[in-house]
Amino acid sequence: MDEQARAAAAEQQPGQQPEHQPEHQRSRHPVVVIGAGPVGLAAAVHLLQRGLEPLVLEAGPTAGSAIGQWRHIRLFSPWRFNLDPAAVRLLEASGWEAPRPTALPYGGEIVDRYLAPLAALPQIAPRLQTGARVVAVTRAGLDRTHSRDREGTPFSVRARNADGTVREVTAAAVIDASGTWSTRNPLGTSGLPATGEPEAEARISAPLPDVVGRDRARFGGRRALVVGAGHSAANTLIALAELARAEPETRILWAVRGASAQKAYGGGDADGLPARGQLGSRLRRLVEAGTVELHTGFGISSLKALDSHVTVEAVDGRTLEADVVVPCTGFRPDLGILRELRLELDPAVEAPRELGPLIDPEFHSCGTVPPHGARLLAHPEKDFYIVGMKSYGRAPTFLLATGYEQVRSVAAALAGDRAAADTVQLELPETGVCSTDVGTGCDAPEPAAQDCCATEGIPS
């Protein structure tokens, strides 16, 4: 399809089928996209441009709800890598002004300056339903064990509305772009919640609290225990130190599972990514000055919530007392909603099987993941794809630029354009998109986190 035809397709109203579309691709049912994050919205744009009808179901009250929860965090990749080219074309046609490509946006700017205007476009708004949490996906009338007529049977997507009512949406295909933000890794060192962790929930904060901003009251003058060794931990610890300067009663504890925090400090002055080196060096200075109290080898076994505080116990019996625990332990995909589908996942990282080895954080980092599309993302369940952050399973190295290429390819595959689906192209600078890294996000269970945003040859 040429550019003009794509633009025309993107102009169509919901429910209209383009004339040029082959008969077998015309379906009464939409392609359901789960999640209106940056990758889900980009998927909608690419589907429209392919003449397919998207319906985006978003759990939160607005597009970009997950990023909205870390709006105070600055991304480590500049604007030019954070925008989907097809979405930009659609936005620009409406008079939208692109941000400076080299600037590093905050999460809040991604929402306000990009996702909100995109969601409001007349091509997208009628095809986006917010307050609609997908709770299950299946084939209509078929459970996972039924093979007969499976590929010719539409999907049934069950969604719970904000008012608690439940409805079923019939779909020709499903693209799961629901991210991983709502399913953090537990504090327990074995991958399971620590004993007492669910009961201590009221003393556990969000993974990236805004400690000097909207969450200040919860942290100022209190004892905060930060758990984990990734960039989120580093950012939170540095922000807590800033808070402690204003409110000196604030106590900052930091627990890492490894024997040393050395790798969380990065390469310092010798780091190939200067800003990341700076982040690590600042953290090291805070530890050396005693502002941050570091506890190494602290694999958590249990939490005990008391009226006044929470006691956190390590596997070796050491205990720490805190008012609030910050879980910077990374994320994992919610596969429960996909239980009735036939998936094929990498046993280690829970990404599509063939993608797993390419992104395993033990061996790869942001800049080193090869571009990939529909073929690699496919599951035995035809016309079902997991894309975006969730496609990486437990690997922390996902980048938006990769996700945009994923959905371009998936939309082409669903439209039957195999050649375009297989021509995956993604050009990232040698240092990945982290070349202007200010160090954030990309958390993983140790020891992988420190590798995030590095590329081979860069000390980490």
Ligand X SMILES: Cc1cc2nc3c(=O)[nH]c(=O)nc-3n(C[C@H](O)[C@H](O)[C@H](O)COP(=O)(O)OP(=O)(O)OC[C@H]3O[C@@H](n4cnc5c(N)ncnc54)[C@H](O)[C@@H]3O)c2cc1C
* Interface contacts to ligand X, rule CB under 6 A: 34-40, 57-60, 64-67, 70, 73, 75-77, 133-134, 177-179, 181-182, 208, 337, 388-389, 398-400, 403, 433, 440-441
Nearer to ligand X, 66 or 320 (CB): 66
Q: Which long-range contacts (CB under 8 A, 24 or more apart) does 350-353 make?
A: 350/393, 350/394, 351/391, 351/392, 351/393, 351/394, 351/395, 352/376, 352/377, 352/378, 352/379, 352/386, 352/391
Query: Phi/psi class of residue 317: alpha, beta or left (left: φ > 0; alpha: ψ in -120 to 50)?
Result: left
**Minimum distance from residue 341 beta carbon to ligand X (Å):** 14
Host H or E run for residue 321: strand 319-322
C-beta of residue 291 within 8 angstroms of C-beta of residue 252: yes
Q: Which is nearer to ligand X, 71 or 251 (CB)?
A: 71
Could you tell me the smallest distance in angstroms from the CB atom of residue 23 to ligand X? 31
Nearer to ligand X, 240 or 399 (CB): 399
Q: How far is the CB of 215 from ligand X (least distance, A)?
A: 15
Which residue matches tokens 């209190």? Answer: 222
Q: Which is nearer to ligand X, 109 or 383 (CB)?
A: 109
At 246 the three-state DSSP class reads helix
From residue 402, give the alpha-carbon distance in Å to each of 13, 94, 285, 397, 446: 29, 25, 35, 10, 24
In the complex, residue closest to ligand X by CB: 37
CB of 419 to ligand X, least distance (A): 26
CB of residue 261 to ligand X, shortest distance in Å: 20
Instruction: Yes or no: say if 427 and 235 are a contact pair by the CB < 8 Å rule.
Output: no
C-beta of 196 vs 388, nearer to ligand X:
388
Least Å distance, CB 301 to ligand X, is 27
Cβ proximity to ligand X, 301 vs 440, nearer residue = 440
CB of 122 to ligand X, least distance (A): 21
Indicate the Cα dihedral angle 260, 265, 271, 274, nearest 10°.
170
Q: Going along 150-288, which residue ranges are E strands? A: 155-161, 166-171, 173-176, 223-227, 251-255
Query: Residue 61 or 357: which CB sits closer to ligand X?
Result: 61
